[in-house]
Amino acid sequence: MESCTRNILVGSLLGDGWLYGISKTGKSIYCVKYNDKSIGYLEWIREQVAEINPSELKSIPKYSQHYFFTKSSIDLGNLRKIFYPNEGKKRVPKNIAKLMDNPIGLAVWYQDDGTLDRRSKYHWNVRIATYCFPYEDCVLLTEAVKTNFNIQMSVCRCQMRGKVYYQLYVPSKS
């Protein structure tokens, strides 16, 4: 798998993308879904991962969503093993800095889960939602982004509906 495709997949897996379980042959399928407002972005991702044989876009009219999935492959199965250890919840791989070494992966992740907080001409901050990841995984992400892209990030706690989650915060100077 080409480095650019891998980075796009990694950014997507940190965000809204997922990998279906591994088959007996060690293969997995990549899938991503967005609402109708993001169909242009979904089409772009589909074009970018053409080498892993994406399906045509499918629609879910009831929910105003579109998605695609790929053919199964060993490369995707290998990604599944490191993003879903023990077939459990999605986790940040220990080697995330090696996997996401191109800014395109960071851009895809930001597009999926990032927000820009702009309150005045002097206040521009980025936040990236990492609600499904534990604190330790968030620290891995901050270290990888600092190492590979020289962007300072910190892990912040936030509470929603009585439960603690984490998000990443990028200060204005970064």
pTM, to two decimals: 0.92
pLDDT tens digit sequence for 140-172: 999 999 999 999 999 999 888 888 899 999 987
Residue 72 Cα distances to 55, 80, 97, 165, angstroms: 11, 11, 25, 32
Confidence of residue 53 (pLDDT cuts 50, 70, 90): very high
Q: Closest by alpha carbon to 110, among 124, 123, 127? A: 127
Distance CA 17, CA 9 (A): 8
pLDDT at 24: 86
Strand 30-35 vs strand 18-19: parallel, antiparallel, or unpaired? Answer: antiparallel
Q: What is the dihedral of CA 93, 83, 1, 115, to 10 degrees?
A: -80
122-138 average pLDDT score:
90
E strand or H helix that includes residue 27: none
The pLDDT, as a whole number, for residue 137 is 97
| Cβ–Cβ under 8 Å, residues 7 and 105 | yes
Band of pLDDT at residue 173, cut at 50, 70 and 90: confident
Asked whether residue 123 carries a pLDDT value surpassing 80, the answer given is no
Distance of CA 23 to CAs 15, 33, 41, 54, Å? 23, 22, 29, 18
